[in-house]
């Protein structure tokens, strides 16, 4: 995923988490809002309760790979903040992909 499609500012994270609607399942929590530019932006958060930095970074890399594949197949009308939940530690990459695709497609229908 290119750097210009990533949300990194904590101010934007906080604003979206407090004001935007969300979709969730047992693996992910997604906050979304209408995109401000022509390309959708994504922010990924992995809380410290998931484990040490190595584990959190691995999960973020997986989510970025899934998002990159999602962008090739579908257009997303929203900017999203994706929060990884603890259940992601116990599932395979394919299950993560299916779960995240399901939420991203649901949020696109709203």
Q: Where are the domains of the chain?
A: 3-102
Say yes or no to pLDDT of 85 above 60.
yes
Which is nearest to 28 in space by CA: 109, 106, 96, 105? 96
pTM, rounded to two decimals: 0.87
Q: What is the pLDDT of residue 108?
A: 52
Say yes or no to pLDDT of 96 above 60.
yes
The residue-averaged pLDDT of 32-37 equals 82
Q: What is the mean pLDDT of the chain?
A: 88
Q: How confident is the model at residue 109 (pLDDT cuts 50, 70, 90)?
A: low
Q: What is the pLDDT of residue 89?
A: 93
Q: What is the pLDDT of residue 41?
A: 87
pLDDT in tens, 23-32: 989 999 999 8
The residue-averaged pLDDT of 33-56 equals 89
**Region 3-102: CATH code:** 3.30.230.10
């Amino acid at each position: 995923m290119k750097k210009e499609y990533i949300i990194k500012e904590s101010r934007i994270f906080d604003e979206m988490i407090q004001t935007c609607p969300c979709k969730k399942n047992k693996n992910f929590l997604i906050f979304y809002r209408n995109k401000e530019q022509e390309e959708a932006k994504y922010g990924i958060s992995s809380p410290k309760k998931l484990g040490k930095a190595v584990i959190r970074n691995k999960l973020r890399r997986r989510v970025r790979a899934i998002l990159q594949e999602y962008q090739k197949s579908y257009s997303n009308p929203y900017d999203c903040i994706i929060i990884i939940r603890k259940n992601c530690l116990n599932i395979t990459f394919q299950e993560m992909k299916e779960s995240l695709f399901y939420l991203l497609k649901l949020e696109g229908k709203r």
